[in-house]
Amino acid sequence: MSDPDPSNDARSVAGWKRAAAEAAVADVADGMTVGLGTGSTAAFAIEALGRRVRDGLDCRAVATSNRTADLASRAGITLMPLGDVAEIDLAIDGVDEIDPELRAIKGAGGAMLREKIVASAARRMIAIADRSKAVDRLGTRAVPVEVLSLARAFVERRLMTLCCDPILRRAEGQAVLTDQGNLIFDCHFADLGDLPALDAHLSAIPGLAGHGLFLTEIDALYLGGPQGVFRSERQPRPD
């Protein structure tokens, strides 16, 4: 699934992202509560949903980050606090990488914990991406993890026991904080062969609030490319 073509320019990729986002937003129906993701591809979905709302669509949304909430508000989309929402009809979000089984790495935008909550609360989740994000095997991108500041050293040590090189995310010399005020480690693993086992190991570390492996949450992928939008579906999740 990976894209070896180095000729993709920024304008083409933006067009593919937009096409995938608009195809996903077409699935939003009146009365739905929609989970809105974070990142450049999700921003196109917010823009498209805003247009549909202005054309009369009746829906509400929850945001996976403060940035997303700001974009949605400016687009005229009615927002609900995530803490007040137990179930979401449809979540739409981008990915950093996604494999043929619709397992993904997410969190480059630093919102992996809220994104995981929204994806898990959703009856259906659509991943949207340009074709460069489709890979045969996960692992080119780091797996981000969100960590409580008070557990930084402990979690870093535990991550290293998993054959991981955890790198504290920084910007302009300062540690990057999530909207929850937590730290982010970008984790480069020697081997991502047993993804369910790694998911379980990460989830069991005290002080690690969330991670960017999305192994079962994604129900469909809308993948934009030069031939249009390709859609693939996962078998329905059990209730």
Question: Catalytic residue positions?
Answer: 115
Backbone angles phi, psi at 126, to 5 degrees: -110, 125
Question: What does the alpha-carbon distance between residue 46 and residue 66 come to, in Å, rounded to a whole number?
Answer: 13
Question: What does the alpha-carbon distance between residue 45 and residue 167 come to, in Å, rounded to a whole number?
Answer: 31
Q: How many CB atoms lie within 10 A of CB 206?
A: 9
Question: What does the alpha-carbon distance between residue 66 and residue 30 come to, in Å, rounded to a whole number?
Answer: 25
Assigned token pair, 29: 């129906």
- Residues in a beta bridge with 145: 185, 211
Reported residue count of the chain is 239
Question: ∠71-10-139 over CA atoms, to 5°?
Answer: 85
Residue with token string 């192994």: 215
